[in-house]
Structure 1
Amino acid sequence: MQNLTLKRAENLYIKVKRWLLGMHGTDGFLVKVLIYGLLIGIGFVYLYPIIYLGVYSFKTLDDILNPLVNWIPTTFYVGNYERAIQVLDFIPTLLETLYVTVLPSIVQTAIAAVIGYGLARFDFPFKKTIFALVLATFIIPAPVTLIPRYIFFNELNILGSLNAFLLPAVTGQGLNSAIFILIFYQFFKALPKALEEAAQIDGAGHLRIFLTIAIPMAVPSFIISFLFSFVWYWNETYLASIYFGNALSTLPLELEKFVATYQKMFPVGMEMSGNQINEAIRLAGTLLSILPLLIVYFITQRWFVEGVDRSGITGE
């Protein structure tokens, strides 16, 4: 009888342990709680700023001043966005931003693929030295080369135009181009040489091999490189303000001078009520400036995740 009781207690202990901790590769209750709790916590850290922007950008001035109104506005006020759209000159500035970001991103991705393929599949003198110099362009801070590059661009008379972004991209010196070259280098280095040898037996040259074999297999690397390049060019305000001046503008640049532009367009002395700039209007302008990036991410999310998984890139 005592042995039977001990056996039942042992079986109960095993069942409880299996349920809490899991056994034989299955996750128990405590493990699942830990994993999901960690994921929810990390997700909240990333989503909190977006939620905050979205909620507070719809608040009226009365809701902002009312301490009882916290996360749920009394009414969804779209007047903040109307003001922000006027201040940012949203549609023309958005088109100009796409012009400044998409073209350099495409050029930079294409050139990085060519350079990465050349370094990965061909042997030539000083190859390691050239590869080291390519990586050094990422290690050296941009402000170190800013003045010489500015003088050089001024002599070429390309300041104030998109060529100030396109020329470095064409020569493999765009924003963080070394990272993209390394991505393509790693991918093309892993391709089996048997594929090239079979194509060469069939009479294909190096260019045809690159276009018909290497590029289709490197689609994940192209997706990753283009999306990262797009985001970096979009968020670049330091170089854009120096190279473009007043000739070209982007949404992040307009956001930097949002308060000053608002005060010029809507002086406090005007008879319109609620004319002063407030937090809700600033947050509406901020959300408008990042909204295109969010839309791009939601559209390309599936290809982005697939590209990260297949190319083994963790991002920055």
Structure 2
Amino acid sequence: MFLGMQGTDGLLFKLLIYGLLIGIGFVYLYPLLYMGVYSFKSLDDLLNPLVNWIPTQFYTGNYEQANKVMDFFSTLMETLYVTVLPALAQTAVAAVVGYGLARFDFKGKKIIFVLVLATFIIPPQVTLIPRYIFFNELNILGSLSAFLLPATFGQGLNSAIFILIFYQFFRAVPKALEEAAQLDGAGHFRIFFTIALPMALPAIIISFLFSFVWYWNETYLAAIYFGDALTTLPLQLQKFVATYQKMFPAEMGVSGGNQLNEGIKMAGTVLSILPLLIVYFITQRWFVEGVDRSGITGE
């Protein structure tokens, strides 16, 4: 009963596994719980040492101020514009490149494969200055083209990972299907669009979602390439304190007043990650299936 026997798990083993899972889950959920609770705390609750996890009232003033500071809905539309288009372009190009490397033999194929891997191995900080100078000469700084153009040519954020995912996935597709289509008179483009792509749906989902999240969370390159022309929610979160102090200057001699507190900071943080959480909850089934069936495992 405690140690298990004949292929059955004992009580001791189950307690160990569930205890480990609960501990890991708590480590991941604690920051979210902390942000959620403190974002609904009023200033009185924050100053009251007796109020810990359960606020005395459902206070939404923190979100009202954070919404004004971040200009949430306008910034959200701009963030989607900056992330969705490059993610779509990167996924489409990675699918084409991965299919070409997996299905065709040509001179220089190994060299191209090595170059793809090199773009993933070389730290992006090494190529930052040359790329910035190049983009400046092309006059695309301050526009979406700074993200969209590299993604279109297979040089987006971590594009090598997605190319390898599609490469591994297309290698697992039986060649008999393509040979049968060729006997029916189908060309390479028709085979790619009617046979390969529908079977690569898990790889498409996982590539797009990962690409979407990485473009969403990218603040370093976005700040350098876009400047003040474009902004995103993570960039607004970085400037949250400075923007708040400009919009709500603290009144002299007034205790509390418009001073920035932890509840408002947590509300701004929740607003910045809320769209990603909604996207994950909507797509979690396809996301998990994509990870399980994509070319990462070759199954």
Q: Normalised by the size of structure 1, how large is the TM-score?
A: 0.91
Shift of 1:312: 5.6
Q: Show the counterpart of 1:14.
A: none
> What is residue 214 of structure 2 aligned with on the other side?
232
Which amino acid in structure 1 is aligned with residue 269 of structure 2? T
What is the distance in 2 between the residues matched to 1:218 and 1:312?
9
The answer on 1:279 being equivalent to 2:246 is no
Query: Counterpart of 1:89?
Result: 71
Shift of 1:313: 3.4
SS of equivalent to 1:104: helix
> Over aligned residues, Cα RMSD in angstroms?
1.3
Matched with 1:43 is 25
Are residue 132 (structure 1) and residue 114 (structure 2) matched? yes
Aligned partners of 1:159 and 1:260: how far apart in 2? Answer: 25
In the alignment, is the contact (CA less than 8 A) between 1:160 and 1:245 conserved in 2? yes
1:193-241 residue CA offsets vs partner (Å, 9 max, x unmatched): 1111111001111101100110010000001100100000000000000
Is the contact between residue 168 and residue 295 of structure 2 (CA under 8 Å) also seen in structure 1?
A: no
Segment drifting more, 166-175 vs 302-311: 302-311
Q: In structure 2, what is the equivalent of residue 303 of structure 1? A: 286
Matched, 1:151 2:133: yes
| 1:179 is the counterpart of 2:161 | yes
User: Separation in 2 of the partners of 1:111 and 1:230?
Assistant: 15
Separation of aligned partners in 2, 1:312 and 1:172:
18
Work out the CA distance in 1 between the residues paired with 2:96 and 2:263.
Answer: 46
- Structure number with greater Rg is 1
Q: Corresponding residue for 1:207?
A: 189
CA distance in 1, matches of 2:5, 2:206: 38
| Structure 2 gap segments, 5+ residues each | none
Distance in 1 separating the partners of 2:3 and 2:182: 56
Amino acid at match of 2:67: I
Q: What amino acid is the match of 1:40?
A: I
TM-score w.r.t. structure 2 length? Answer: 0.97
Q: Identical aligned pairs, as a percentage?
A: 80
Aligned-partner Cα distance in 2 for 1:273–1:71: 22
Q: Distance in 2 between matches of 1:26 and 1:220?
A: 34
- The one-letter amino acid of 2:108's match is F
Deviates more, 1:96-105 or 1:63-72: 63-72
Q: Counterparts of 1:165 and 1:205 in 2: how far apart (Å)?
A: 33
Amino acid in the other structure paired with 2:155: Q
Q: Which runs of 5+ in 1 are unaligned?
A: 1-18
The SS at the match of 1:246 is coil
The answer to whether the Cα contact below 8 Å between 2:167 and 2:295 also exists between their aligned partners in 1 is no
- SS of 1:21 mapped into structure 2: coil
Give the one of 250, 264, 274 matched to 2:246: 264
CA distance in 2, matches of 1:216, 1:151: 40
1:117 corresponds to 2:99: yes
The question of 1:22 aligning with 2:4 is answered yes
1:58-90: CA deviation from partner (whole Å, max 9, x where unpaired): 111111111111111111210000000000000
- Higher mean displacement: 59-68 or 44-53: 59-68
State the distance in 2 between where 1:273 and 1:172 align.
51
Instruction: State the shift of 1:54 in Å.
Output: 0.2
- What do residues 256-295 of structure 1 show as CA deviations (whole Å, max 9, x unaligned)? 0100000000001278963100011001000100000000
Q: Separation in 1 of the partners of 2:258 and 2:62? A: 11
Contact 1:61 1:274 in 2 (8 A): no
Q: 2:276 aligns with which of 286, 289, 293?
A: 293
- Alignment correspondent of 1:57: 39
Give the letter aligned to residue 276 of structure 2: L
- The answer to whether 1:249 aligns with 2:231 is yes
Measured after TM superposition, the shift of residue 24 of structure 1 is 2.2
Matching residue within 132, 143, 146 for 1:161:
143
Q: Is the 8 A contact 1:180 1:225 kept in 2?
A: yes
CA distance in 1: counterparts of 2:256 and 2:220, whole angstroms: 36
- Per-residue deviation, 1:25: 2.0
**Count of matched residue positions in the alignment of Structure 1 and Structure 2:** 296
Answer yes or no: is 1:80 the counterpart of 2:62.
yes
